[in-house]
Amino acid sequence: MPADHLPADPLGERLLAAAIEVFAERGYDRAGVAEIARRAGVTTGAIYSRYAGKAELLAAALEAHATDDLDALFADHQFQGRAEDVLAIAGRHLVDAHGDDEGRGTTLLAEAFVAARRDPAVAELLRDDVLERQQKLRTIIEAAKASGGISPALDTEALVTFCHALGFGFVMLGAVDVPMPAAEPWEQLIAHLLAALADPPAPVDLPADPDHP
């Protein structure tokens, strides 16, 4: 059933909002189901009736909080013919995460990676999510190869890994407040990468240097 036709679930929304808040504030290890229930105005039984445990609740919180750019690209009627936008998507918003919502999402994902090191349940849920996104990326990259946006000579798995490493790397940098590059030079870099990936490689117009006419 399409998301916009799903029945309203006020209780589920309250649970996830409380979970996002507590996980972001306290981290996965120190976040308690009882505190999440208290902030949602429910009993712990209401949580366990929906989720097997804290790991599953973290996964649901991540899914609810994430803006899935890959899904948005699939839904775009202009997808065919510009599938090479996968790299632009990999770089989009990564240098402009100033809002509370985006910052909280970064914190949640960073917490999930830390928790995965110690909790096999979190590791499995996070791995399943990554594998699902990798499959979406493969589909987009193969379509881009067919349209000429990405050279068929380039390895799909290498590009999938690069895109994920790029995104997750920014999550880790954001978690420790490392300064990000300005949007304009970052977009220029992405443009260079896109041009280099094309078949054949495309020229990139650089701004004129006033010191070297």
pLDDT in tens, 57-66: 988 888 776 6
The SS3 assignment for 79 reads coil
pLDDT at 182: 80
Cβ distance 65 to 108 under 8 Å?
A: yes
pTM of the entire predicted model: 0.67
Give alpha helix (H) positions in 66-155: 69-75, 86-91, 100-116, 120-147
4: pLDDT strictly greater than 60: no
Distance between CA atoms of residues 40 and 211, nearest Å: 60
Identify which of 113, 94, 117, 109 has the alpha carbon closest to the alpha carbon of residue 166.
94
Q: Is the dihedral of CA 141, 166, 196, 70 positive or negative?
A: positive
Distance between CA atoms of residues 127 and 121, nearest Å: 10
